[in-house]
């Protein structure tokens, strides 16, 4: 039904959630969420703390299981996918940008960006060359040999974005990507995210508390008490 709605709007659904529910003990954190996100669409998820947006992001990333309902990324049904299939999905199709960057401390900036490619079996020389391209795109060419503990917050997030996009994912999940940055740096990071996702045709789902961050998104989905409280279309 939801895919049908999306098609009616002339778009191809890439992410589909149908009546997704999840509980921690007695507490229901997702209560029948339904949502359709088209390929290449940028969606902001907003809502107060405890509304379920981070849990929803975790379920979309396949790192948390849900109790009921259906989540489909492309043609993969996350509910019935094996652990191995979810790992493959994370490696090839889904990337995540975190609020606290989570760069790998032993790797240089360039190596951090190239690492997902190495994981996918790309030869080191090729992976590093591609990593360098992403250094240029994210404006980190001058910091390629630096290590994470030598970077500013903005530089760390640029590096995290380069790492997330280097392997060519189709879906980028961003968990408050500007939450740990000052407003000026945050703006630049948002611009970078918008430019790169638009260029690459990547679907973006971004959890944020900031109204200004929603400016790069095609629509905003509000959540409250584990439910989507806005219309499902933009």
User: Which is closer to other proteins, CB of 155 or CB of 175?
Assistant: 175
d(CA 173, CA 156): 17
In the complex, the smallest distance separating the C-beta of residue 100 from other proteins, rounded to whole angstroms, is 5
In the complex, the smallest distance separating the C-beta of residue 87 from other proteins, rounded to whole angstroms, is 5
User: Which is closer to other proteins, CB of 85 or CB of 232?
Assistant: 85
Report in angstroms the alpha-carbon separations of 133 from 11, 22, 57, 117, 225: 31, 40, 28, 13, 42
User: Which is closer to other proteins, CB of 152 or CB of 233?
Assistant: 152
In the complex, the smallest distance separating the C-beta of residue 13 from other proteins, rounded to whole angstroms, is 24
Helix/strand/coil for 177: coil
In the complex, the smallest distance separating the C-beta of residue 20 from other proteins, rounded to whole angstroms, is 17
User: Which is closer to other proteins, CB of 9 or CB of 123?
Assistant: 123
| DSSP character string of 100-151 | T----TTS-HHHHHHHHHHHTT--HHHHHHHHHHHHHHTT-GGGTT--GGGS
Question: Where on the phi/psi map is residue 211: left (φ > 0), alpha (ψ -120 to 50), or beta?
Answer: alpha
User: Which is closer to other proteins, CB of 31 or CB of 173?
Assistant: 173
In the complex, the smallest distance separating the C-beta of residue 178 from other proteins, rounded to whole angstroms, is 16
Are 218 and 206 contacting, i.e. CB atoms less than 8 angstroms apart? no
In the complex, the smallest distance separating the C-beta of residue 180 from other proteins, rounded to whole angstroms, is 9
Structure tokens at 16: 């589909």
User: Which is closer to other proteins, CB of 41 or CB of 175?
Assistant: 175
Burial annotation 44-54 (CB, 10 A radius, 16+ → b, else e): bbbbeeebbbb
**Site for other proteins, rule CB under 8 A:** 54, 57-58, 61, 63-64, 84, 87-88, 90-92, 96, 98, 100, 102-107, 111, 115-116, 118-119, 121, 163, 175
């Amino acid at each position: 039904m939801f895919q049908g709605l999306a098609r009616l709007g002339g778009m191809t659904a890439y992410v589909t959630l149908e009546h997704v529910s999840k509980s921690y003990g007695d507490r229901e954190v997702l209560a029948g969420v339904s949502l359709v996100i088209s390929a290449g669409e940028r969606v902001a998820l907003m809502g107060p703390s405890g509304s379920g947006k981070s849990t929803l992001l975790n379920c979309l990333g396949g790192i948390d299981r849900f109790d009921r309902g259906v989540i489909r990324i492309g043609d993969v049904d996350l509910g019935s996918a094996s652990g191995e299939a979810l790992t493959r999905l994370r490696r090839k199709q889904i990337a995540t940008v975190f609020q606290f960057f989570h760069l790998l401390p032993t790797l240089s900036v360039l190596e951090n960006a190239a690492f997902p490619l190495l994981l996918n079996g790309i030869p080191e020389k090729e992976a590093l060359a591609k990593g360098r391209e992403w250094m240029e795109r994210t404006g980190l060419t001058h910091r390629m040999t630096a290590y994470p503990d030598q970077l500013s917050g903005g530089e760390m997030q640029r590096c995290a974005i380069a790492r997330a996009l280097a392997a060519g994912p189709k879906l980028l999940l961003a968990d408050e990507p500007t939450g740990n940055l000052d407003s000026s740096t945050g703006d630049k990071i948002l611009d970078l995210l918008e430019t790169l996702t638009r260029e690459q045709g990547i679907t973006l789902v971004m959890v944020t508390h900031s109204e200004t961050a929603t400016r790069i998104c095609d629509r905003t989905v509000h959540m409250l008490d584990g439910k989507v409280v806005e219309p499902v279309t933009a």
